Amino acid sequence: MKRIVLLAVMAMFVLVSCSTNDDVTLKDNYTFTTTLTTTCSPSISGYPQTTTSVTTQNGITAAQAKSAAESLTTTSTTTTGGYKITTTMKCVYILTKNYVAPPVVTGARVEY
């Protein structure tokens, strides 16, 4: 009987200590990479054009980082002068401590 009571108390402790609220309140630093791509149809010289920006945000939760990345991921299309112009913005996030910057390409050399 003592073992059953001990096991029940331990089970309750495990259930309470492994609350899902722990993940919600944990704040960390995140790096966001946003890529904006503009395409044109029929094609025009110089398109597609791509621009990438990297920013960091400190002291936010994983849920806040996910929400921010989702709100910055969009696609829009417009037609003007017989051209269909599509703009796609995609945002991804990663814990800053796991972020590795992509190499910088200059001419024929790659610099790290």
pTM: 0.64
SS3 string of 47-99?
CCEEEEEEEEEEEEEHHHHHHHHHHCCEEEEEEECCEEEEEEEEEEEEEHHHC
Residue 15 lies in a domain: no
42 part of a folded domain: yes
112 in any annotated domain: no
Q: Is the residue at 14 inside a domain?
A: no
HSE-up of 41 (CA within 13 Å, CB side)? 6
Is residue 111, in this structure, part of any structural domain at all? no
Domain extent at residue 46:
26-96
pLDDT band at 111 (very low <50, low <70, confident <90, very high): low
Kindly report, residue by residue over 75-97, the tens digit of the pLDDT: 999 999 999 999 999 999 999 88
Residue 70 lies in a domain: yes
Residue 85 maps to a domain: yes
Residue 57 CB contacts under 8 Å (≥ 6 apart), including other chains: 29, 30, 32, 65, 68
Residue 4 counted as domain residue: no
